[in-house]
A = this chain, B = another copy of it.
Amino acid sequence: MKASNLIFATQRENPSDAEIVSHKLMIRAGLTRQVSSGIYNWLPTGKKVLHKVENIIREEMNNAGAQEILMPMVQPISLWEESGRRNQYGPELLVFQDRHENEFCLGPTHEEVITDLCKNILTSYKQLPITLYQIQTKFRDEIRPRFGVMRSREFVMKDAYSFDLNQEGLDLTYKNIREAYLKIFQRFGLDYRLVKADSGAIGGSDSEEFHVLADSGEDLLAFSDKSDYAINAELLVELQEDQDPASLEGKDSPDGKGKLKLKRGIEAGHIFKLGKKYSESFNLKVQGDKENITPYMGCYGIGASRIVAAAIEQNHDDKGIIWPNSLSPYEVAIVEANPKGKEDISAKCGEIYNQLIENKIDVLWENTDKRPGVKFADMELIGIPVMIIIGDKALESNQLELKIRKDEKPLMVSQEDLLNTLKELN
């Protein structure tokens, strides 16, 4: 992609209403713009990141054998009455009437719709187990939306729902999707923890959360420095009848392995064994060998738009965003340092641009007539992992200067070594 064809919409000033760094940087780097409280436009750079998040999720869900579907945003409220959640959910469920005065709501989640759908498409035990998922826009009428897309009203989620014949089947499916989630979060390139989410989870694992570690996280997590034991710190003090979560730091980990550390986390994924709650409410049954069977359900969410914000909370400095490679809007930026508009510099840029494209590297060529300093600042703000700087110096020395966003150490490489060096950096 050439920058001359792009809208960057970067800005130097922080938006006045932004409280957390991801919100500030998403506006400044031109990823999003607010439409109304808690409602956002995703600009080209932001949409590209969101797309990468969605594709990683889609690939791993497909690999896990889940099937993609698409359910509607507008849901008949009758389904929420059938599940008994209409009142329980409270005013975050935005209810309205259509032109015929029938009541609907904007779906904040889809347990009701999927269970009702499966009453129609599931008939025999032979069809189970099955896991269906969607990547879709949801709405939750937060009383005080804040923190940009981190806690917005309209947001993009991947939600999955599984159906099994019995508890053992659900346990297996849950484990399978849990494995897929581990791969997804690894591919995001984020430092995360899989956290036991409620007391019922101690010992068992009926509900677990995937937290992206970041100082601004809402939850304080306690985890072992030697094992993958991790738990909400509030929950652990409750269980251990301690007073103060801070006192957990350095204590022995409850699993007997290593010492506890404390860090804050942003919840970005949640896996949950629902059991028969919804299948019973909706009287969903499949024909069994001898008698009808009420399926055991699980549900599995990832906040796709939230992942974008969480990645920034974890990875930034005072110059801007520092994307993990897999989520960056571009893997590499060619910065044309060519204030005098020399043809041989542009030609060299074009040559390397084409070489990278041929090698399927997602590259941005900053070919505008902006000053080199402005280009560097933009690329650092947007957070591209590697800059290749091509100007007079590069042409004279026959060496390309690489700037790595993470450590900012410049690296000189010959054109011949470029591809291998990029591969090593990835």
* Residues of A3-45 whose CB lies within 8 A of B: 5-7, 9, 30, 33, 35-36, 39-44
B69-A5 in contact (CB<8A): no
Asked whether A293 is an interface residue with its Cβ less than 8 Å from the other chain, the reply is no
Chain B contacts of A75 at CB under 8 A? 35-36, 39
Asked whether A139 is an interface residue with its Cβ less than 8 Å from the other chain, the reply is yes
Binds B, one of A91-99, A182-190, A319-327: A91-99
**How many protomers of this protein does the assembly include?**
2
* Residues of A64-102 whose CB lies within 8 A of B: 65, 67-76, 91-92, 94, 96-99, 102
Binds B, one of A113-121, A213-221, A380-388: A113-121
Q: A6-B67, A7-B121, A137-B137 are in contact. Are A72 and B40 (CB under 8 A)?
A: yes
Q: Can you list, as one digit per residue, whether each of A362-373 has a CB less than 8 Å from chain B (1) or not (0)?
A: 000000000000
* A: number of interface residues (CB 8 Å): 56
B30-A47 in contact (CB<8A): no
Give Cα distance in the complex from A154 to B71, angstroms.
10
Chain B contacts of A76 at CB under 8 A? 35-36, 39
Asked whether A106 is an interface residue with its Cβ less than 8 Å from the other chain, the reply is yes
B67-A42 in contact (CB<8A): no
Q: A36-B76, A69-B42 are in contact. Are A132 and B7 (CB under 8 A)?
A: yes
Binding site for B on A (CB under 8 A): 5-7, 9, 30, 33, 35-36, 39-44, 47-48, 50-51, 65, 67-76, 91-92, 94, 96-99, 102, 104, 106, 113, 116-117, 120-122, 127, 130, 132, 136-137, 139, 141, 143, 153-154, 156
8 pairs from A and B in contact (CB 8 Å cutoff): A5-B65, A35-B75, A36-B104, A40-B72, A72-B154, A73-B154, A74-B153, A92-B99
Cβ-closest 5 pairs across A and B: A96-B96, A42-B70, A44-B67, A9-B121, A36-B76
